[in-house]
Chain A
């Protein structure tokens, strides 16, 4: 018997949308698990309890359990979020979990965000483009950067590619080829980086259409649901202004 006093003992009903596309007999269905709530319990803990004690076949992804790796994004009561950063005490007794929509389903709550993100990165060329990178002397001291700019780039680099902004975006849900806030944010990150020599016209070629910045309808779901609180609205508006000025 657990004698540690808890503020409120309650049983969570965690319903999971289950489906394994690799299994020909699998049909999508909801399965509900009962879990005793505990103080400071996260969904990460609750899902692990379910897998250890009730159903070892339950699929979900975790690596860092600290909001850093971006693998545990899922739909929690209708909204995207990181399971490892979601405390059960902030949720009602009935919790519904579903995989992030817009990504290839691996099984149950596990989706292939990595494949999507790689496709996006290759398409938007989210790396520094500059002449003569091969000749750069890596042991030489880099040219200094203004601290404010470095801080700003650092802020934008905090994106963990969790995919929550794609699941939170009505545009991305309607149009599969939309690069989403994660893609637009990364383009602005390189647009701001003085080491990247690309011109605005070159960036325009990457995002200057309705699959890019002009597809965004400013629904701001991305801004409101990003677990890393990235300033996505500011970045997208900035990119939009730059791209119409080309």
Chain B
């Protein structure tokens, strides 16, 4: 009879998938809040204040935003650490995988490689973004964000982050479904096709949404460039703008 099972491999596998799932849910939700700018300055300002807890506590606490950023950063660190185990561990493994992938011309094998590369890039891109939010939680808003994006040239970071994170998230959800999904032998292929199609659509949607928002921030930032640094004052408070 088994005396003591080492449950860590199971836990780590579950945790890798779990942190991945949470991060995807986060990024897919995040896109809607971020794109509130498409509905106007006022809408985005409202969302900003909501995350600072103003509607709940009566006054804004930017620390809440820092806390959220810290949690996401922690999730990413955990996820990346667990995923790191799957990276080719040495040059020989890397070379074998490369040869194998080139010879196979097999979609899912290639997608895994894309995930390794996008994951590696995310390590820098996502951390950079989150660190800014973490240390300047109060510097978010229709003008503050637009100034950072345009005058601060953050659009370069965000444009790459947008593409990389959604490709990684889309492939990740597809992999999660195939990795754990209780599809019967007869319907597995059908579901695989459906899920793949659904994820193409979802990723395309988020890329469009993200691009539209980013362009809007850039436009606002360009217009606001002469006054860069000035904060947005909501219409009901000042009557301006």
Query: Given contacts A204-B2, A208-B9, is CB(A233)–CB(B192) below 8 Å?
Result: yes
Stretch at the interface among A24-32, A65-73, A110-118, A237-245: A237-245
Q: Which of B86, B88, B112, B188 contacts A233 (CB 8 A)?
A: B188
A210 nearest CB neighbor, chain B only: B9
Q: Are B182 and A238 in contact (CB under 8 A)?
A: yes
Would you call B175 an interface residue if the criterion is a C-beta within 8 Å of the partner chain's C-beta atoms? Answer: yes
CB neighbors of A among B3-30 (8 A): 5-7, 9-14
Query: Roughly how many angstroms separate A152 CA and B186 CA in the complex, as a whole number?
Result: 11
Q: Which of A209, A235, A238 contacts B6 (CB 8 A)?
A: A209
**Across the interface, which residues of A come within 8 angstroms of B238, CB to CB?**
none
What distance in Å separates the Cβ of A12 from its nearest Cβ neighbour in chain B?
20
Chain B residues touching A, range: 35 or more
A244 nearest CB neighbor, chain B only: B10
Q: Are A201 and B181 in contact (CB under 8 A)?
A: no
**Across the interface, which residues of A come within 8 angstroms of B186, CB to CB?**
231
* Main SS class of interface, B: helix
Chain A residues touching B, range: 35 or more
Stretch at the interface among B31-39, B99-107, B127-135, B145-153: B99-107
Q: Are A218 and B101 in contact (CB under 8 A)?
A: no
Q: Are B185 and A208 in contact (CB under 8 A)?
A: no
Besides the known contacts A202-B1, A216-B179, A246-B7, 16 further A-B residue pairs in the complex with CB atoms under 8 A apart: A78-B103, A79-B103, A79-B104, A170-B104, A174-B88, A174-B93, A174-B96, A208-B6, A214-B12, A218-B179, A219-B112, A220-B108, A233-B178, A234-B184, A240-B13, A240-B180
